[in-house]
Amino acid sequence: MRLFLTSEPPEAIRAALVEALDLVDFGMALLTPDLRLRFLNQRFLDLWALSPQSIEPGTTFRQLLKQACECGLFALTPDETPDFLAAWEIMLSDGGVEPAPLDLANGQRLLVRCVVKEDGSRILTCVDITLLRQEQQRQQEARDIAERLGVDLRFTNETLEEQAAYLATLAETADDAAQRADRANLQLEREVVERRALEVKLRHMATTDPLTGALNRAEVLTLGQQELERARIDGTNVAVLMLDIDHFKRINDGHGHAAGDAALRHLIGTVTNTVRRVDLVGRVGGEEFVVILPGIASPAAARVAVRLRQQIADAEVEYGGEPIRMTVSIGLALARDDEHSIEQTLARADAALYTAKRGGRNRVVISEEEAVVDAA
C-alpha cells in the first residue's frame, strides 16, 4: 500500500525516498529479473567497499560481486573466486535467499537476504551483524570455560591430597577468571556506551538536515502533527510559518555555493535564537524553512513572524571578508478546527508565502486574510 501525504510531484517524493534510503543502517540493492542493478543505497556501497563511480548502468550483480572480490572484500583465493561467484548467481537466479551469513576478509560478518517480487525482480538486503557474532563468540567461550571447569571439578574426589592441591590451583584459576570477567564487563560496558552514542548519532542523522542542523522535512512534519493533535486535546492553537529566502540564487551566483551554505546556516541560527525552545524549526526545501509554533494565538504568531523578518533583514552574513545581506518572505497560517493534518495548515502557509513573493518579497502575509502584516 502506498501512502503519500503530500502534494509534491513524484520527482520530489522519489528524491526524498532515495535520501531516506541512504540514511538507513542496512544495505539495499534492487535487481532486475535478469539480475542487473537498478538501485544501490549508500549503506550497501559502504558495506561492500564500492564507489558510485565504479558502478555503470547495466552492471550485473555477478559483475558487482566480482569487483568486490577483486578489491579483496572476501578472503578467497583466485581458484575459489569462480565457484563463489557461480554459487551466488545460482542462488539469486533460483529465487529468494533466506537470511544467510557472509564473512568479509576484514572480520566483519553480514547477514544477506534476497526477496523475489512478483515481476521477477529482486530486493537484496544486508546488515552488519559483526557485534552480534562477537557476542556469540564470547558466550561460547564462557560456556567452554564453564565446561572445562566442570571437568576439572570431577577429579577433586580422587584423594584429599590431590583435592587440596587442586583447590589451591582452582583458587588461582578463579582469581584469573574473575579478573577476566571484570575486564570483559568493563569492555561490555564500553561497547554499550559506544552503541548508545552511535544510536543517538544515527537518530540525529535521520532526523536533521546535515547542512543547517535544522529538523529535516519528515521529522518536523511528524513532530508538528503531534503538536496539532495535542492542541486539539488541550484546546490550544498551532501556527505555521513558511519562510523562503528572497533571490537566494543571487547569493549563490554572486558569492558562490559555499557562501549560500553559510547564509542558510546563518538563517537557521537567527531563527533558532528568536523563537521559543518549544517551537519546531525545520528545512523543507532548498531555501525553504518551516517554523511550527504550538500553543500560540494569531496576534502573537504574527508578532513572531514580523520579528523574524526584521532580524533577518537587519543581520549580515560575513563570508570571505564580504558582507552578505538577505531578506525572507513569510507566510503565516493558524491551524483550523477542520484540519486534521499539519500538512493542510502548511499548505495554506505556503500559499500565503507565495502571495508575499508576488507582492514584492521581504514581507509577512497571513493565510486566508491575504493581508500583509509587515513589509520593508
Domain ranges of the chain: 10-128, 135-207, 217-375
Best CA proximity match to 367, nearest among 343, 341, 340, 346: 346
Best CA proximity match to 296, nearest among 311, 282, 285, 280: 280
**Separation of alpha carbons 38 and 345, rounded Å:** 37
Residues in the chain: 376
10-128 and 217-375 share one fold: no
What fold, for 217-375? Alpha-Beta Plaits (3.30.70)
Best CA proximity match to 278, nearest among 304, 249, 255: 304
Instruction: Write down the pTM of the prediction.
Output: 0.50
CA atoms 219, 220, 222, 226: torsion sign: positive
- Per-residue model confidence (pLDDT) at position 278: 95
Sheet holding 97-103, edge to edge: 37-40, 27-31, 122-128, 109-116, 97-103
What is the grid cell recorded at 167? 583447590
List pLDDT tens digits, range 296-336: 999 999 999 999 999 999 988 888 888 899 999 999 999 99
Residue 233 CB neighbours (<10 A): 7
Residues in contact with 264: Cβ distance below 8 Å, sequence separation at least 6, in sequence order: 211, 212, 245, 283, 287
- Per-residue model confidence (pLDDT) at position 335: 95
Cβ(92)–Cβ(114) under 8 Å? yes
Cβ(374)–Cβ(318) under 8 Å? no
Q: How confident is the model at residue 84 (pLDDT cuts 50, 70, 90)?
A: confident
- Per-residue model confidence (pLDDT) at position 322: 86
**What is the residue-averaged pLDDT of the chain?**
85
List pLDDT tens digits, range 94-146: 877 788 888 888 888 989 888 889 888 889 899 989 887 677 767 877 676 65
Q: Are strands 122-128 and 363-366 parallel, antiparallel or unpaired?
A: unpaired
- Domain 10-128 in this protein, CATH class: alpha beta
Each as own residue / partner, the long-range contacts of residues 29-34 (CB below 8 Å, 24 or more positions apart, any chain) are 29/61, 29/123, 29/124, 29/125, 30/121, 30/122, 30/123, 30/124, 31/61, 31/92, 31/121, 31/122, 31/123, 31/124, 32/121, 33/119, 33/120, 33/121, 33/122, 34/60
Catalytic residue (one of 172, 287, 322, 343): 287
Is 56 annotated as catalytic?
no
Cβ(282)–Cβ(217) under 8 Å? yes
Half-sphere exposure of 194 (CA within 13 A, CB side): 7
Q: How confident is the model at residue 51 (pLDDT cuts 50, 70, 90)?
A: confident
Local structure of 319: helix, strand or coil? strand
Start-end of H helices in the chain? 10-21, 42-47, 61-70, 81-94, 130-154, 160-207, 217-234, 248-255, 257-274, 298-314, 342-358
